[in-house]
Structure 1
């Protein structure tokens, strides 16, 4: 089984898959911090609360997911740190050879781009709570899963 190292957050490396949502550098508000994508007319936004479990109990990873028609934002409400696992697309599937994992501090959110392959949300040390925003209508276009060869994540 392959092991993927958990890297420190790298905003530039993450950019093809998602935007990091951090506190505004100046001023009380940062408008349009990241694009909210919805490629399906008439599909409403779903603001959900998500409880996430630590990654150690969720290994190995055996699948990735993507939301082909919508961005998906996660905003930590009570989280120390969490993991973002991404892979580029290769012929409609995740490129397993290019999977990367990043440790994100709990005061920063993430907004996956529509169609970006990613793993389910996992905290690092303790369970956490997130607000999640995605456009869904209950059809198969909401979320697509792809099985991958099992991988584990390693902090070093």
Structure 2
């Protein structure tokens, strides 16, 4: 079974898959921090609360998902740090040879682009809670799953922070 190293998240490394959301450097507000995509007219925004469990790194990751018509944002509410696993698209499936895993500190959010392949949300060491925003109407068009060859994640380095 293949093991994927976990690297600290960096804005440029994550850019092909979405946006890293961090506190504004200047001023009280940063408008247009991420592109909120909705490719289906009339499909409502779902604001959900998601409880995430820690990844031991030993449990194999066996599937990925994507939301072909909507971006999907995760905003940590009570999270130490968390892991995101992403892959570029290759012929309508995740490119397993190009899987990447990132450790994200609990003070930063992420916004996956519509169609970005990603794994389920995993916290690094303790359970956590996120606000999740995605356009959904409850149909099969909301989310597509793809099985992948089992992979494990290398233990995260808790001392590294995000790089912008």
**1:19 match:** 19
Distance of 1:151 and 1:114 partners within structure 2: 24
Aligned residues: 156
Checking the alignment, whether the CA contact within 8 Å between 2:66 and 2:118 is kept in structure 1 is yes
1:112–1:58 distance in 2 versus 1, CA, 3 Å: farther
Deviation at 1:11, TM superposition (A): 1.4
TM-score normalized with structure 1 length = 0.98
Structure 2, unaligned stretches of length 5 or more?
157-164
SS state of the match for residue 140, structure 2?
Answer: coil
**1:30 match:** 30
Distance of 1:102 and 1:126 partners within structure 2: 17
Structure 1, unaligned stretches of length 5 or more?
none
**2:160 match:** none
Runs of 4+ more than 4 Å apart: none
**2:111 match:** 111
Q: CA RMSD of the aligned region, Å?
A: 1.1
**1:44 match:** 44
Deviation at 1:155, TM superposition (A): 2.1
Distance of 2:115 and 2:121 partners within structure 1: 16
Describe the superposition over 1:2-29 as per-residue Cα deviations: whole angstroms up to 9, x where unpaired: 0000011121110000100000010000
Distance of 1:144 and 1:116 partners within structure 2: 11
**1:72 match:** 72
1:8–1:82 distance in 2 versus 1, CA, 3 Å: same
Distance of 1:58 and 1:146 partners within structure 2: 20
SS state of the match for residue 24, structure 1?
Answer: coil
